[in-house]
Amino acid sequence: MQNHEKTTNAIVYAKSLSKDVKLFEITNPYIAQKGLPGQFVVIRHREEGERIPLTIADIDRTKGTITIIFQEVGKTTKDLGKLKEGDFLLDILGPLGVPTEIEKCGTVVCIGGGVGAAVIYPIAKALKSAENKVIAIIGARTKELVILENKFKEITDELYITTDDGSYGRKGFVSDELKRLINEGNKIDRIWAIGPVIMMKVISDLTKPYGIKTTVSLNPIMIDGTGMCGGCRVQIGTETKFACVDGPEFDGHAVDFDLLMKRLSTYTHECSLMEQGRIYPTRIKAGLINQTPTKTMISKSKDPLVTLH
Ligand code: NAD
Ligand code: FES
């Protein structure tokens, strides 16, 4: 037991995938045993630190390790990125969220935008193991930001890469590549799309007229990650859902993306103050710029859904 405690949450492998994106492989036999594709963990790297929800990017059940991949976009993720092999995280809560429904559906297209490629990777891998034909499209702003290309090559039947500036792969957005596949008459049975909210919205709008079931993974503000605080509320059709316990995956054709984008932009000013050290950080979600609302922020907030619990 003592040995187990001594090694749990240790960073056994650390790597930079691109300028701002880091990969940590961390020992945690319990989560490695239980975790499934689509699930996430909430980590705290030090006592006063924020709690950060991060998707489990890979699992090695034999070694008892999980892999997380995060973008250094705010104070907490930048601090996290300074940790090295041999360092420990204070605590890891998980696995959380509903796992991806992995089944044989035929030809699936897995689309990862930017660091969203890390989130879609374990899903693509599991879909391949379930004997689907897996086509992946991963895109980034420029060549240096393309991540996990070789890992995707190992597990996909076809891999397409796009860059916004045309420095690698095809020039354009991931949605342009999907449009090409659809226009060429390729049979597509299901789509998973994960990345910036606008990307998931564009892809869901694109696939809706074709009736191609499209699953997206939502990244609203999360606080406790266990369904208690209501911070992660999202509108799915006529229902309000909690992304941390009902998701994070939802039917892209039913998501109110405009409301999600509005909520995500609510705290950008406060985040900038936090980076300047002028307010205390309580939470940043990797890949996002947001934080747990304080009483003052809530009282000034224009977001009708933000309340104190
Ligand atoms: P980015 O802004 O560089 O965009 C990545 C790619 O998304 C682009 O190269 C493009 O192919 C596509 N894209 C962007 N805008 C688009 C548009 N208007 N139409 C169609 N496609 C578009 O992304 P980044 O800087 O790597 O940031 C990653 C984003 O992923 C962050 O916004 C983060 O919030 C999000 N993210 C989401 C999850 C999740 O679970 N949904 C997890 C991690 C990160
Ligand atoms: Fe989902 Fe609190 S983060 S309810």
Give tens-digit pLDDT for 212-228: 999 999 988 888 888 88
Q: pTM of the entire structure?
A: 0.85
**pLDDT of residue 300 exceeding 80:** no
- Class level of CATH domain 107-262: alpha beta
- Mean pLDDT value of segment 126-142: 97
Domain boundaries, the chain: 8-96, 107-262, 266-300
Per-residue pLDDT averaged across 86-102, rounded?
A: 93
For residue 258, pLDDT beyond 90: yes
What is the predicted pLDDT for the residue at 223? 82
Closest CA to 192 of 119, 287, 288, 254: 119
What is the number of the ligand closest to the CA of 245?
A: 2
Closest listed residue to residue 229, CA positions, set 243, 218, 219: 243
> How far is 264 from 242, CA to CA, in rounded Å?
15
The number of the ligand nearest the C-alpha atom of 163 reads: 1
Beta carbons within 8 Å of 291's beta carbon, 6+ residues apart: 50, 74, 221, 267, 270, 271, 274, 281, 282, 283, 284
Return the pLDDT at 5.
53
Return the DSSP state at 83.
Answer: -
188 within ligand 2 shell (Cβ under 6 A): no
107-111, 175-179, 280-284, range with the lowest pLDDT: 280-284
Residue 272: pLDDT over 80: no
What is the number of helices (H) and of strands (E) in the chain? 11, 15
Contacts of 15 (CB under 8 A, 6+ apart): 22, 23
What is the mean pLDDT of the segment spanning 74-85? 90
- Please state which of the ranges 80-94, 112-126, 216-230 shows the lowest mean pLDDT: 216-230
Distance between CA atoms of residues 186 and 160, nearest Å: 14
Probe residue for ligand 1, chosen from 115, 148, 217 as the CB with the greatest number of ligand atoms within 8 Å? 115
- Ligand 1: residues with CB < 6 A are 55, 113-116, 119, 139-141, 162, 164, 173-175, 194-196, 198-199, 202, 217-219, 248, 287-288
The alpha carbon of 81 and the centre of ligand 2 are apart by a number of angstroms equal to: 25
Over 60: is that where the pLDDT of 292 sits?
no
Question: Ligand nearest 225 Cα, by number?
Answer: 2
At 36, the pLDDT band (50, 70, 90 cuts) reads very high
Cis peptide upstream of residue 248 (ω within 30 degrees of 0): yes
**Cα 186 to averaged position of ligand 1 atoms, centre (Å):** 25
Distance 253 CA to ligand 2 centre (A): 23
Distance 6 CA to ligand 1 centre (A): 37
Residue 277 has pLDDT above 60, yes or no: no
Pick the CATH number of 8-96 from 2.40.240.20, 1.10.150.530, 2.40.30.10, 3.40.50.1220: 2.40.30.10
